[in-house]
Structure 1
């Protein structure tokens, strides 16, 4: 009877283990002390990376510095440049035959169509329109070749040291390549652009044409927006040479992540596993000194002291479980010299972890303190009269 019970318990435990592995693919559970701990995700991608979108810290990598073609994820750069140009001049582009003479995926542009740069950026990001990418490149730089120069200049600015762009659409070329890490740097920069982030976060989007006067609705190719609740973007890609490529972004409780896979047969599951792993590694920490109050002596003023107040800062992201180890250092002089104006920054609070500064907030004067008005002596008054006689 005891043996039968033991066998039953073993079968139940095995069943629970199998369920866990199926429900949360890509994870290995266990540590030396028997406590639950998430292992690194197991991904199908030839190259992959997961970063903290706030500071670029690599949380997971697999051949992340290995160069590969990146297919239509290239359009992240094309759209970013187009949107940056459009922020100062969202010019109307008249589509030409040269612009639409490109193979592959399309948003259905025809010669004679007229739409803005922002609309072209939306078309290349939502439905991966090669025609939209080519049109934007020619409209901005005069040719796809000259636009590639802009792409490579921007790549250098972003520290994409192992990347070289040739085509605005991502069509295969031996000299067109990047790395998972470089593409994560690109996505990190692109998601800071409000127009870019707004477009890639939409499951479907209406795009206005100026001519013909119409609005077309397009469905986003990025299925991760529907599959993963916290997904906020970014871009899919595929060619026979590149395989399936995907750049994704996700946000949960103030933690923002970016994941990249290049040549990944199972990219949807790869990204879910990577993002789940990332959210287990990080947690947000509030930075709020608005309740801080202290009285500081004032030298040479109409008041002997003044109040100093703290301010609220933006939350920061720290490794999970390390918030208690963050060092909070108040930097404030023992006394202040008058005059001091209300709101003047007189100190700061610094938050550090393992020697790295995470955040700072200002300490400001709660009220102003003037210098006292000193009555002039008789000698000073006579000197002022004499001085004015000779002016």
Structure 2
């Protein structure tokens, strides 16, 4: 009788649930594998260490349509552009819908897009008007050829100026100062711990920070999906949006360094229609990484990409192509969702919910009363016939401009 009781509970749950209610599964099921459209770069990238496997319990965060190392895209959508990026996501920041992605939960090295996590974690903690002194330890072990704001040891700078140097110039020195300030008595390690705490709060489970700047560190990873969560959290702040929209500013002279000219290095700002913000990154290990947000027809889409190569398009050209693809989809197209922080939304592995069925193996599909009754009848028939299990089977873009790489770190 045990099989009958299990099936009966399932049937009861289906029949008593009101139309449009959400029904959760207790076990994640991977989406069918579909290869990502890719283009081979002219030069093969250097070999990199194999990233750790994704925890199966985390692979379906945001919906089972995202539980794939391959392509996640709506069934009837145009084919996404072929890119060199090894993983990417396009998501709607306002609705939380994930429009598509390639290996959305795969571990990848972040480079300077990690600075968005620093901002999300520490902006709420730090007073932008406070003036702080840069310590010699903040500048220790920084390669002078890496991306720097240009602060001087002993110089005094406002926290607001440090945020501008971090986000516009991708200053690794500014990252160290801000992490030390935000870490309190624990100093810079405390700031990095705050970043990891924020990642857990956002449910960015593939993300682990080892450095505040995104310079390569042991065990430092993120994912395209996590970056979308982090971008959404940071972009909810007015001060973050204001900093990212700044084209250029100046920081007063300090200790003989002269006035610092700060220029936004997001080359798509003012060039791509509706571009609101962007952050580039590069290390030998991470290759090119990018996060961008653009608005068009009342929709704010974010693109996150990791592991891109300089040619043929570079990270900016690939981001442009992916944004064009996303804006070309219907507003309600979806293969998953950006989850809310702290688990305040439904179970990560929701697979049956009210919707229009546009998702290609995504987290929702339309359930009408006849469907529920038909499914229930089938289950009951299986029991009568002696079945012990029952399983329901889920059922050219404009060419992007050729762009040169932005080397940061």
- Specify the TM-score bucket, using the shorter chain as the normaliser: 0.5 to 0.7
Query: For residues 72-83 of structure 1, what are the structure 2 equivalents within 5 Å?
Result: 72-83=112-123
CA contact (8 A) 2:122 2:194 kept: no
Residue aligning to 1:328? none
Residue aligning to 2:67? none
Q: Summarize the Cα distance change of 1:209–1:154 in structure 2 as closer, same or farther, 3 Å threshold.
A: farther
Find the aligned partners of 2:216 and 2:103 in 1 and give their Cα distance.
Answer: 21
The TM-score with structure 2 as length reference comes to: 0.58
RMSD: 2.6
Larger RCO, structures 1/2 (Cα 8 Å, 6+ apart)? 2
The yes-or-no answer on 1:153 pairing with 2:197 is yes
Deviations 1:224-273, CA, capped at 9 Å, x for gaps = 21431211112111101100110111111210000011111121111111
CA contact (8 A) 2:286 2:306 kept: yes
The yes-or-no answer on 1:52 pairing with 2:96 is no
CA contact (8 A) 2:112 2:213 kept: yes
Tell me how far 1:281 sits from its aligned partner.
1.3
Q: How many residues align?
A: 256
Query: For residues 1-391 of structure 1, what are the structure 2 equivalents within 5 Å?
Result: 38-87=78-127, 90-101=129-140, 102-103=142-143, 104-141=146-183, 142-208=186-252, 216-265=260-309, 266-283=314-331, 318-319=332-333, 354=356
Q: Secondary structure at the match of 1:150?
A: helix
Q: Which runs of 5+ in 1 are unaligned?
A: 1-30, 284-317, 321-351, 357-391
Find the aligned partners of 2:301 and 2:227 in 1 and give their Cα distance.
Answer: 13
CA contact (8 A) 1:47 1:63 kept: yes
Find the aligned partners of 1:157 and 1:211 in 2 and give their Cα distance.
Answer: 40
Q: Secondary structure at the match of 1:84?
A: coil
Deviations 1:40-69, CA, capped at 9 Å, x for gaps = 222210111111111332111111211011
Q: Secondary structure at the match of 1:86?
A: coil
CA contact (8 A) 1:148 1:166 kept: yes
Q: Summarize the Cα distance change of 1:139–1:232 in structure 2 as closer, same or farther, 3 Å threshold.
A: same
Find the aligned partners of 1:207 and 1:229 in 2 and give their Cα distance.
Answer: 29
Runs of 4+ in 1 over 6 A off after TM superposition: 209-214
Q: Secondary structure at the match of 1:61?
A: strand
Find the aligned partners of 2:177 and 2:285 in 1 and give their Cα distance.
Answer: 24
Residue aligning to 1:18? none
CA contact (8 A) 2:149 2:166 kept: yes
Residue aligning to 2:13? none
Q: Secondary structure at the match of 2:316?
A: helix
Deviations 1:92-139, CA, capped at 9 Å, x for gaps = 110111112222211111111111222111101100100000011112
Normalized per residue, which structure has more strand? 1
Residue aligning to 2:378? none
Q: Which runs of 5+ in 2 are unaligned?
A: 1-74, 335-353, 358-363, 365-409
Which has the higher Rg, Structure 1 or Structure 2? 1
Q: Summarize the Cα distance change of 1:84–1:210 in structure 2 as closer, same or farther, 3 Å threshold.
A: farther
Find the aligned partners of 1:82 and 1:121 in 2 and give their Cα distance.
Answer: 10
Find the aligned partners of 2:236 and 2:256 in 1 and give their Cα distance.
Answer: 32
